Amino acid sequence: MRSTRHGLWLLLLWALFACSPPPLHQQQAYVFGTLVDVSICGAPEPQAQQAAAAVLARFDALHRMLHAWQPSELSRLNAALARGERTTVTPELAAMLRDAQTHSIQSDDLFNPAIGGLIALWGFHSDAPQARVPDAAAISTWVGRRPRMADLHIENNTVWSSNPAVQLDLGGYAKGRALDDAAAILKSHGIENALVNIGGNVIALGAHGDRPWRVGIQHPRQSGTLATLDLNDGEAVGTSGDYQRYFEVNGRRYSHLIDPRTGFPTTGMQSLTVLVAGEQAGTRSDALSKPLFIDGAERLPGNASRLGVAYYLAVDSAGRIHVSPAMKARLR
């Protein structure tokens, strides 16, 4: 298993001849299996410290709530679903599940948090994946059971499934949701200018001094960037890539991004980055990158249009770069 690399990272750039950069406060932590960075610009140090600490505390709470293979509220729900039982969850988790259902339906189930059992079969429900291709019959069995978010029933705070194969993994949703929560927390602490980076999922507030926040888009096979991108207030960036969690067997790469239609990791893409603005920008940037990545480069323009994604940059399995016209105009 290769170590996690970050799809985007913060490039704190200011003009060479500027008198001095604006005051910048940074706090880092390791949450959601990746490095998290909170950068706050122009706020007094005590205020920035308190705001960043509140954000990181929220991230830790979400991580403990949504962990798919360690004891958590989500893992307890999965155990109940496997037994065919109804169970009561917190209002917060119930709301997240409804939201994830909506994104799943819109993506024709290519964003499918119900395939947690399949992800576990591939060995990605551990800190050190098994680096072994599962038995073909076992994969076929999981695909045939067709677990979908539509099988999940949520009535008030009671959850059950009409399909016992449903096992929830919100790994493709949690980081985006965390970004939206971070933006709300920072604003509640009076922070106007900040950048939050969760291992390649990024949201911007305000600006970095007199210029926008600038991030770099990681090349999936080389060190360095494909391009840089200036983010406006409220914009979020999500990246899906086969270089983040994967193992290799006989020279073939198997990533954690699994196509629910085949049961195998997707092979048509190396990376895909989307830029999203507006309500739930963080959540949507995370969830929307998954179906676009999984369905491949050929259908990328049509899928992006259907899902309302105007800004994307992708690298296909052959290393070819695909950029939407809108994104091309934004790249540096």
> 130-147: per-residue pLDDT in tens?
889 999 999 999 999 999
Rg of the chain on CA atoms, in Å: 20
pLDDT of residue 33: 87
Average pLDDT, the chain: 93
Q: How far apart are CA 239 and CA 252, in angstroms?
A: 22
Q: How far apart are CA 131 and CA 136, in angstroms?
A: 15
Angle in degrees, CA 55, 71, 166, rounded to 5: 100
Mean pLDDT computed over 82-91: 97
Neighbouring-strand partners of residue 87:
159
pLDDT of residue 129: 74
pLDDT at 26 > cutoff 80: yes
Q: Are strands 34-41 and 87-88 parallel, antiparallel or unpaired?
A: unpaired
pLDDT of residue 288: 98
| Structural element, H or E, at residue 229 | strand 225-231
pLDDT of residue 130: 80
